Amino acid sequence: MNLKWGALGPGSVESTRRVRTLGLAASTRQFNDLAVPGMGGVWFGRQLFLSTLGVLVAERATARGHRATPIVVANAIEALACWLALKGAHRAGDDRIRGSVKLTGVTLDDLRFANVSRPSFYVTQPMRMATVTALPALGLVQATGSRFNSFSCSDEGLALVEAMGGSFRPYNRDLVEHLVQWVLGKDDRVYTDTLQAALSPLLPLPDDARILLQEVLYQGAPGSPAEDRRRRSEALNWVRVRRLGASPCGWDEQPTQISDAVHWADLRAGAAFFMTRDAALSVLDELELIIGSPECRYDLGGSLPLGLTDRLALLRSHASAFLGLCHWEEGASAFCRDVLTPNDDEVLRRLVHRDGRILREVSEQICAGPAFQGGEATNEAVSPGTEMGPPANDPAWPRGISYRIRNLWWLSLDLDGTLETWLHPDAADATR
Amino acid sequence: MTERNLHPLSLTQYFDAPEGYRGVFGWICGYSADAFFLNDAAERFTRETAGQRAAQGEIKLALMLDPGQPPLTLVDVPGLIHLPILNASRQPFRLMHAKVALLGFRDIAGGGRWMLRLIVSTGNWTRQTLEESLDLVWCIEVDSEAMEDDREDQDLELRCADICAAWSLLGFLHGLFDLRVLGAGATRIAGGSQTAIQQLAGWLLLCSLRAGASSRFLDSRHASLLAQLPLAIRTHAGDTKRNYLAMGSGFFEGPSLGGEPAVPPVLERIVSNLIREELLVRAPSVDIFVNPAACQAVASALPAIQQREGWHVRKAAPMEHLFRSEHRSLHAKFLFGSRAREGSNNCLKPWVYLGSGNLTGPGFTSAMSRQGGNLEVGIVFAPEGLTWYPDRDGDPGTLITYRLPIQWETQMISVGELLPGGAMPPAAPPFVAPPIAWLEWEAVDDGGWLNSPSSFPVSWEVLNASGIPCHQDLKGFIWEGSQPRQVHIRWSDDALGVQSRIVPVMDVFGRLAATPLTALDFEEAWWALAGFPVAASETDDGVDNDPESLKPGTSNGGAKGGVGAYPVRQMMELIERVAERQTEVVQADWPAWCTRLEQTLSRVVNSPVLDYFRTLGLNPLSPLRGNAFRPDYAEDGKTVEGRVYETVLAQIEAHWQTAGLAEIGDRE
Q: What is the pLDDT of residue A294?
A: 73
pLDDT at A388 over 70: no
Scanning every residue of chain B, which has its alpha carbon at the shortest distance from the alpha carbon of A110?
B19
Q: What is the pLDDT of residue B276?
A: 97
Backbone angles phi, psi at B506, to 5 degrees: -100, 130
pLDDT at B552 over 60: no
CB contact under 8 A, B137 and A6: yes
Q: Which tens digits make up the pLDDT trace of A158-187?
A: 999 999 999 999 999 999 999 999 999 999
CB contact under 8 A, A144 and B557: yes
Instruction: Residue A114: list chain B partners with CB under 8 A.
Output: 19
Report which of B133, B36, B424 is spatially closest to residue A373, judged by C-alpha positions. Answer: B36
Average pLDDT over residues B19-27: 91
Average pLDDT over residues A186-203: 95
Q: Note whether B540 contacts A: Cβ–Cβ < 8 A.
A: yes
CB contact under 8 A, B537 and A149: yes
Give per-residue burial for A202-215: e unless 16+ CB within 10 Å, then b: bbbbbeebbebbbe
Pairwise pLDDT comparison (A379 vs B636), residue with the higher score: B636
Element (H, E) at A229: helix A226-241
What are the counts of helices (DSSP H) followed by strands (DSSP E) for chain A? 18, 6
pLDDT classification of A380: cutoffs 50, 70, 90: very low
Within 13 Å, how many C-alpha atoms sit on residue B579's CB side? Answer: 18
Q: What is the pLDDT of residue B445?
A: 78
pLDDT at B555 over 70: no
3-state class (DSSP) for residue A359: strand
- Tell me the sheet residues that pair with B439: B505
Beta carbons of B463 and B489 less than 8 angstroms apart: yes
Instruction: Residue A29: list chain B partners with CB under 8 A.
Output: 543-544, 546, 549
Backbone angles phi, psi at A329, to 5 degrees: -65, 115
Instruction: Residue B37: list chain A partners with CB under 8 A.
Output: 13
Total CB pairs under 8 A between chain A and B? 216
Instruction: Residue B498: list chain A partners with CB under 8 A.
Output: 363
Q: Cis before residue B430, ω within 30 degrees of 0? A: no
Q: How far is A295 from chain B (nearest CA, A)?
A: 7
CB contact under 8 A, B9 and A4: yes
Q: Among B16-25, B88-97, B422-431, B482-491, whose mean pLDDT is lowest?
A: B422-431
Q: What is the pLDDT of residue A116?
A: 94
Beta carbons of A239 and A36 less than 8 angstroms apart: no
d(C-alpha B489, C-alpha B459), whole Å: 11
Q: Which tens digits make up the pLDDT trace of A208-255?
A: 999 999 999 999 999 999 999 999 999 999 999 887 677 778 899 899
Backbone angles phi, psi at B579, to 5 degrees: -60, -45
Tell me how long chain A is: 432
Instruction: Residue A10: list chain B partners with CB under 8 A.
Output: 10, 130-131, 322-323, 326
Instruction: Residue A118: list chain B partners with CB under 8 A.
Output: 47
Q: Note whether B321 contacts A: Cβ–Cβ < 8 A.
A: no
Which of B143, B540, B581 to substitute to test the interface with A, most A CBs within 10 Å?
B540
C-beta neighbour count of A317 within 10 angstroms: 12
d(C-alpha B183, C-alpha B194), whole Å: 6
Instruction: Residue B556: list chain A partners with CB under 8 A.
Output: 145-147
CB contact under 8 A, A8 and B500: no
d(C-alpha B191, C-alpha B173), whole Å: 23
CB-nearest to A67 from B43, B129, B531 is B531
CB-nearest to A13 from B37, B137, B520 is B37
CB-nearest to B43 from A12, A32, A119 is A119
d(C-alpha B64, C-alpha B179), whole Å: 10
Q: What is the pLDDT of residue B317?
A: 95
Beta carbons of A388 and A32 less than 8 angstroms apart: no
Scanning every residue of chain A, which has its alpha carbon at the shortest distance from the alpha carbon of B36?
A13
In Å, the largest CA–CA distance within chain A is: 73
Beta carbons of B388 and B400 less than 8 angstroms apart: yes
Q: Which tens digits make up the pLDDT trace of B143-202?
A: 999 988 888 889 999 999 999 999 999 999 999 999 999 998 877 766 678 889 999 999
Q: What is the pLDDT of residue A166?
A: 92
Scanning every residue of chain A, which has its alpha carbon at the shortest distance from the alpha carbon of B518?
A147
Pairwise pLDDT comparison (B299 vs A297), residue with the higher score: B299
Q: What is the pLDDT of residue A391?
A: 60
Instruction: Residue B215: list chain A partners with CB under 8 A.
Output: none
Q: How far is A126 from chain B (nearest CA, A)?
A: 10
Q: Where are the beta strands (DSSP E) in B71-216?
A: 80-83, 100-107, 114-121, 133-134, 136-143
Q: Which tens digits make up the pLDDT trace of B359-374?
A: 999 999 999 999 899 9
Q: How far is B496 from chain A (nearest CA, A)?
A: 14
CB contact under 8 A, B524 and A370: no
d(C-alpha B604, C-alpha A144), whole Å: 13
C-beta neighbour count of A85 within 10 angstroms: 23
Which of A27, A69, A113, A120 to substitute to test the interface with B, most B CBs within 10 Å?
A120
CB contact under 8 A, A148 and B541: yes
pLDDT at A55 over 60: yes
CB contact under 8 A, B549 and A25: yes
pLDDT at A329 over 90: yes
Q: Which tens digits make up the pLDDT trace of B252-300?
A: 998 877 778 899 999 999 999 999 999 999 999 999 999 999 889 999 9
Q: What is the pLDDT of residue B519?
A: 74
- Tell me the sheet residues that pair with B480: B447
Scanning every residue of chain B, which has its alpha carbon at the shortest distance from the alpha carbon of A389?
B544
CB contact under 8 A, A8 and B40: no
Q: How far is A14 from chain B (nearest CA, A)?
A: 8
Q: pTM of the entire structure?
A: 0.76
Average pLDDT, chain A: 88
Q: Among A172-181, A398-407, B298-307, B458-467, whose mean pLDDT is lowest?
A: B458-467
d(C-alpha A361, C-alpha A354), whole Å: 11
Q: Name the amino acid, one letter, at B232.
A: A
CB contact under 8 A, A5 and B383: yes
Listing DSSP states for B568-587 in one string gives: HHHHHHHHHHHHHHHTT--G
pLDDT classification of A14: cutoffs 50, 70, 90: low
CB contact under 8 A, B40 and A13: yes
CB-nearest to A10 from B322, B520, B557 is B322
CB contact under 8 A, B544 and A295: no
CB-nearest to B521 from A1, A71, A144 is A144
Scanning every residue of chain A, which has its alpha carbon at the shortest distance from the alpha carbon of B71?
A370
Instruction: Residue B123: list chain A partners with CB under 8 A.
Output: 8
Beta carbons of B489 and B503 less than 8 angstroms apart: yes
Q: What is the pLDDT of residue B500?
A: 84
Beta carbons of B485 and B513 less than 8 angstroms apart: yes
pLDDT at B444 over 50: yes
Q: What is the pLDDT of residue A375?
A: 63
Beta carbons of A22 and A335 less than 8 angstroms apart: yes
Pairwise pLDDT comparison (A272 vs A123), residue with the higher score: A272
Instruction: Residue A7: list chain B partners with CB under 8 A.
Output: 8, 134-136, 319, 322, 332, 402-405
Instruction: Residue B138: list chain A partners with CB under 8 A.
Output: 3-5
Instruction: Residue B527: list chain A partners with CB under 8 A.
Output: 69-70, 149-150
Q: Which tens digits make up the pLDDT trace of B47-83?
A: 887 888 898 899 999 999 999 888 899 998 999 999 9
Listing DSSP states for B351-379 in one string gives: EEEEES--BSIIIIIS---SSS--B-EEE
CA angle, A286 as apex, A282 and A288 as ends, to 5°?
115
Q: What is the pLDDT of residue B189?
A: 65
Instruction: Residue A5: list chain B partners with CB under 8 A.
Output: 136-139, 352, 354, 379, 381, 383, 403
Average pLDDT over residues A50-63: 96
Q: Where are the beta strands (DSSP E) in A190-338?
A: 298-299
Percentage of chain B exceeding pLDDT 90: 52
CB-nearest to B3 from A4, A114, A150 is A4
